[in-house]
Amino acid sequence: MSCPDWDSAQPLFLQYLRYERNLSEETLRAYASDLNQFAGYARALPGAGVLAPGSIGPATIRGYLASVHGSLEKTSRARKLSALRSFYRYLITAGFLAENPAELVGHPRVKQKVPAFLTVDAVFHFLDALSRKALEREGSWRKARNWALFESLYSAGIRVSELAGLNREAVIFDEGVVRVRGKGRKERIVPIGSKALEALKYYLSALEFQFAGEFQLPQRKAPTCRPLFLNSRGARLTARSVNRILKAELIGCGLWQHLSAHGLRHTFATHLLNAGADLRAIQEMLGHESLSTTQRYTHVDIDHLMKVYDESHPRSGKN
């Protein structure tokens, strides 16, 4: 089977990612952007005609990565190479090609970054401050929402995109769990704590009481499509807005540490691990397919390490 040209092969690959892999629209846009940038580079090379995937060799890919070396971080260059590798793997699986030129290009060595996280005391300070703001300003659905947002994020450890994508029916209060639709549109059941459930009940009560004067809640044909977390227009809160709200609330609570919503997910995993939770259980709650991904969260702070060492090692000097 002959391989189609680049402009025909790329849409086939993106359709495969959408319908076979069930990847999100955001991920699809990232793949398309990376492939388009490489195609633009390859088309600008001297003597380039109609761009065909089979005409690309490792030297062209190395040249492309060298051309973006000064403008992109290692992580971005590694992502672009991964996009090319995935594209060619698809072409091989589909029977269009026999070799993957991107596999012959060395992957940029990326230093694993450990996301920022909060200590247990800092988390208690932050969430207690949010609850006070919500309870003191009774009826303020926005303050109630912010409390429920971050209690839920820390309690369940879900991704910020998963949090923003929750519908009201996803929270099963009687069972203390939440149905989460994660990467690849896979659904999983995640436990959620009593504090988060309390905050969610308070938020929903405040929302129902006050929404008439603020906005008309969007009506849906299907009752299972009611967004849980709303913005001031009554639409679903976006992941970007969650990060913006988090930054403002951290500063308002006197916590100047730079922390993204992903940092609260990392905080969740770190605290569970430090308290002795099983790594496999944490993997299941985080929704990781591979245990190696979860192991990124297994760092512990030096104080905890020293405490364990002092209490456990027979020659620590403390025994």
pLDDT, tens only, 173-192: 999 999 998 877 788 999 99
Active-site residue flag, 288: yes
Query: What's the pLDDT tens digit per position in 145-160?
Result: 999 999 999 999 999 9
Active-site residue flag, 201: no
Residue burial 270-285, b: 16+ Cβ < 10 Å; e: rest = bbbbbeeeeeeebbeb
The pLDDT value recorded for residue 182 is 80
Active-site residue flag, 159: yes
Active-site residue flag, 247: no
Span 47-51, average pLDDT? 79
Active-site residue flag, 258: no
The pLDDT value recorded for residue 228 is 94
Catalytic residue among 168, 188, 226, 262: 262
Catalytic residue among 183, 195, 226, 271: 183
| Selected residue with higher pLDDT from 301 and 105 | 105
Q: Choose from 127-141, 213-227, 302-316 the range with maximum mean pLDDT.
A: 127-141
Which of these ranges, 46-50, 186-190, 282-286, has the smallest mean pLDDT?
A: 46-50
pTM value? 0.68
Whether the per-residue pLDDT at 272 is higher than 90: the answer is no
Catalytic residue among 143, 236, 288, 299: 288
- Going along the chain from its start, the domains and CATH numbers come out as 6-104 (1.10.150.130), 120-306 (1.10.443.10)
